[in-house]
Structure 1
Amino acid sequence: MVLVGEVEVGRGSEFDNATLDEPFKVFGRTRPRSKMGCPFDSAVDESANKTLKAEFLCREQFASLRDLQLKLNDYVWWHNKERMHSTPGYMSPVEFRKAGLSL
């Protein structure tokens, strides 16, 4: 819950998940959280995670953690260097940056 003035406003159950907080506690850190309505919210992360799940995780099987790491590295390389994206005019992110373009 977030206190806005005198009123508590819910931020969704994902913000109250103790399981997600545990790894941060182990290293003496707190989980990063943006405030409701903040322009720096997690929309970009959520979009990237959705793409990662749909294009990578749901299509692969992993024999070990090392196998996952290797395949994930290959996917990220492909996604950034070869995969054409519609938003930047069907260029890869690397091509788009090299061309000096911006959205």
Structure 2
Amino acid sequence: MALWQRGRERPVQPGTLIHHSDRGCQYVSFRYTTRLTDLGVTASVGSVGDSYDHAMAESLNATFKTELIHRRTWRTRDQIEYAIVDWVGWYHHRRLHTTIGDVPPIEYETAHYRSINAPASTGAR
């Protein structure tokens, strides 16, 4: 509302105002972004920082919280820290991931980089 009102009373010179936000849902709103542009306001978060960019991280955070944090009552900070280290180790090194052929992510990644870094065979003997 304040940006709308300011734009009506005193137009903002392009590049002189930066809008900072908590990166909420307004950055997925085309109308909101267009309005900022119309007023000459630079958003402090661009397309790299929008909600689509963070979708994978948010999904992992939700999985982490569901599988580890909310299943127990934690008595100490150390207890939580050790559990997190163990969960991350399991998630990357022992968890079987169905989408990649029921292998742990680290095994799949290792095989991937081995295949792209392998010397090409020339077929000549």
Unmatched tracts of structure 2, length 5 or more: 1-25, 27-31, 114-125
Q: Deviations over 1:67-98 (max 9, x none)?
A: 11011100100111101112212111111112
Q: Deviations over 1:2-37 (max 9, x none)?
A: 542327xxxxxxxxxxxxxxxxxxxxxxxx955389
Paired residues, number: 78
Change (3 A) 1:44 1:34: farther
Q: What pairs up with 1:45-56 in 2 under 5 angstroms?
A: 45-56=57-68
- Scaled by the length of structure 2, what TM-score is found? 0.51
Query: Pick from 52, 56, 64: which aligns with 1:44?
Result: 56
Q: Which runs of 4+ in 1 moved over 6 A?
A: none
1:83 equivalent in alignment to 2:95: yes
Higher helix proportion: 2
Paired amino acid for 1:78: W
Question: What's 2:84 paired with?
Answer: 72
Q: Which has the larger radius of gyration?
A: 2
Q: Give distance in 2, aligned partners of 1:100 and 1:77.
A: 20
Q: Deviations over 1:35-74 (max 9, x none)?
A: 3896961011111011101111121221111111011100
Question: What's 2:38 paired with?
Answer: 6
How much is the aligned-residue C-alpha RMSD, in angstroms? 3.1
Query: Pick from 92, 101, 110: which aligns with 1:98?
Result: 110
- Scaled by the length of structure 1, what TM-score is found? 0.60
Paired amino acid for 2:61: N
Q: Secondary structure at the match of 1:99?
A: helix
- Larger RCO, structure (CA 8 Å, separation 6 or more): 2
